[in-house]
Amino acid sequence: MDVLGIDIGGTGIKGAPVDVIAGKLTQERVKYPTPQPAKPDAVAAVLRRLVTGFGWSGPVGITFPGVVCNGEIRTAHNLDPEWVGVDGPDLFSKATGLHTVVVLNDADAAGCAEMKFGAGVGEGGVVVMLTFGTGIGSALFVKGVLAPNTEFGHIEIRGKDAEVRASERAKTLHDLSWGKWAGRVDEYLAHLEALVCPDLFIIGGGISRQSDKFVPLLTGRLHARVVPAALHNDAGIVGAALAAAPS
């Protein structure tokens, strides 16, 4: 069965119908730039465009780059403060006319997709999925069960928010070499390991496509295994669709 998955990011909003049994996109994904400023109504209008473009009338899962508790948006570090307190499913349902609308954190969605179809398949211990993009997203799994909204991108390192130092955006913004950026990621992973002692880190986000450029540069001081995500940047779309699939 197909469910529409939409991934709202700080720079782009992308979506595609997903076969939720196979974990695969069934049509070419469509991407629009995130409106600036990324206020709720402007983002909702882009979602309407995506839904109309696919001629969609079925269930839709939508990721959001912030804390989402029972559909309520609680934080939006990389979008706009107007999101705080917004009822996500209500806003998107009104904007698109769709009835089954599920909204969840973007990294949680990507993590669920990786656990079901990607690098986390069969992993029964403690797994931390991290997405490196505009920010750093995190998803924590214990024996395959998600503990939602962990927000490990905001732990403090050297007096700064971790994502300010080690996101993909930080790499671009400060023109960091792979080696320099890998050093920051390494330090970040070591902090996280000290906090939650995972068996496995899955490294996701767009930059995971270039994992050969930085995973070998991690120093090996970690006990946990470190692997790139298998679904790369589609993990959010697939995870969004999974969240809205009928059980």
- Is residue 107 a contact point for ligand BGC (CB under 6 A)? yes
Distance, in Å, from the CA atom of 219 to the CA atom of 70, rounded to the nearest integer, reads 39
DSSP-assigned letters across all residues of 199-225: SEEEEESGGGGGHHHHGGGS-S--SSE
Residue with tokens 């209008």: 45
Q: With the CA atoms of 7, 9, 14 and 16 taken in that order, what torsion angle do they form, in degrees rounded to the nearest 10?
A: -10
Nearer to ligand BGC (CB atom), residue 56 or residue 134: 134
Site string for ligand BGC, 136-175 (x = CB under 6 A): -x-------------x-x---------x------------
Over the window 39 to 68, marking each residue x when it contacts ligand BGC by CB under 6 A and - when it does not, the resulting string is --------------------------xxx-
- Under rule CB under 6 A, residue 106 binds ligand BGC: yes
Report how far apart the first and last C-alpha atoms of the chain are (Å, whole number). 11
Taking the C-alpha atoms of residue 2 and residue 20, their distance in angstroms, rounded to an integer, is 6
Residue with smaller CB distance to ligand BGC, 2 or 106: 106
Tell me the per-residue interface mask from 65 to 84 with ligand BGC, x by CB under 6 A, - otherwise: xxx-------x-xx------
Positions that interact with ligand BGC (CB under 6 A) = 65-67, 75, 77-78, 105-107, 131, 133, 135, 137, 151, 153, 163
